[in-house]
């Protein structure tokens, strides 16, 4: 038996790109959207979509047979996360989540990267998967700046090791750029980094026997916390 060939609708350059639309609606990257299309999970008017497909505003788009909304716009906010909040949708024990700080109409936004429960500072949130990918993938080398307070003074030798040689961790070498906040204080530091591995700063200092008492992120890429108060947020432009 010869399988009947389905005809993919024809699209022109004036119509909408399917992968871009899926990225917006689902809060994923275009690469992830292409994967959904390649896995034959996406349909246009009940016809399985192909890579590079385009569609009109009147077409019905489904993912895993579920129709998706067409009314969402890109949104970007910067939140000043306080200590004690977790970057997830579900509470971890008694710890509240960052979504407890947001009006319900913004609960569809996803955090761009994370800060652990004991850390504070700027968290970007969006429904733009491409933006999230460009901000977090190591190949884009986005600068992050933190204010860090150690329990004990950092020895000059350890400062040099962290900045010059790097510290070997289970997931690779960690190098951080360290700047003292004060010439008379070796506990408080401004740290600049271009990576974003899980708890990297805490683990780096921990490998040398230091405890991080405070970790506050002030900058993420081109975005700065500015005067956003703890627990509050502002819309940002890209």
For the structural domain made of 16-67, what CATH number should be given? 3.10.290.10
Mean pLDDT of 91-101: 91
Asked whether the domain spanning 76-137+226-235 has the same topology as the one spanning 16-67, the reply is no
CATH of 76-137+226-235, one of 3.40.50.1980, 3.30.70.580, 1.10.3720.10, 3.90.920.10: 3.30.70.580
Catalytic residue, chosen from 34, 38, 59, 116, is: 116
Q: The whole model's pTM is what?
A: 0.74
Q: What is the pLDDT of residue 12?
A: 41
Which long-range contacts (C-beta less than 8 Å, at least 24 apart) are formed by 67-71? 68/22, 68/25, 68/26, 69/25, 70/25
Two tokens, residue 219: 């900058």
Cα(54)–Cα(12) distance, integer angstroms: 7
Compute the C-alpha angle 28/85/76, nearest 5°: 35
Residue 125: which of 104, 107, 105 has the closest Cα? 107
What gap in Å lies between CA 238 and CA 232, rounded to an integer? 19
Residue 107: is its pLDDT beyond 50? Answer: yes
100 is catalytic: no
Domain ranges of the chain: 16-67, 76-137+226-235, 143-220
CATH architecture of 143-220: 2-Layer Sandwich (3.30)
What are the tens digits of pLDDT across the range 40-76? Answer: 999 999 999 999 999 988 899 999 999 986 655 789 9
């Amino acid at each position: 038996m010869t399988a009947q060939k389905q005809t993919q609708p024809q699209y022109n350059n004036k119509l909408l790109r399917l992968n871009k639309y899926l990225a917006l609606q689902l809060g994923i990257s275009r690469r992830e959207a292409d994967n959904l299309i390649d896995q034959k999970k996406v349909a246009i008017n009940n016809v399985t979509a192909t890579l590079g497909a385009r569609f009109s505003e009147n077409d019905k788009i489904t993912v895993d047979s579920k129709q998706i909304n067409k009314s969402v716009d890109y949104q970007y906010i910067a939140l000043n996360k306080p200590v004690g909040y977790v970057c997830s949708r579900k509470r971890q024990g008694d710890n509240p989540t960052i979504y407890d700080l947001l009006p319900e109409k913004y609960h569809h936004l996803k955090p761009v990267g994370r800060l652990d429960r004991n850390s504070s500072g700027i968290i970007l949130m969006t429904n733009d998967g491409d933006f999230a990918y460009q901000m977090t993938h190591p190949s884009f080398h986005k600068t992050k700046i933190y204010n860090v307070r150690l329990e004990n003074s950092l020895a000059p030798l350890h400062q040099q090791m962290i900045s010059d040689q790097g510290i070997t961790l289970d997931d690779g070498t960690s190098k951080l750029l360290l700047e003292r906040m004060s010439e008379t204080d070796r506990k408080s530091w401004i740290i600049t980094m271009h990576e974003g591995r899980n708890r990297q700063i805490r683990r780096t200092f921990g490998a040398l026997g230091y405890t991080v008492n405070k970790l506050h992120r002030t900058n993420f890429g081109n975005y700065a916390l500015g005067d956003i108060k703890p627990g509050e947020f502002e819309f940002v432009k890209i």
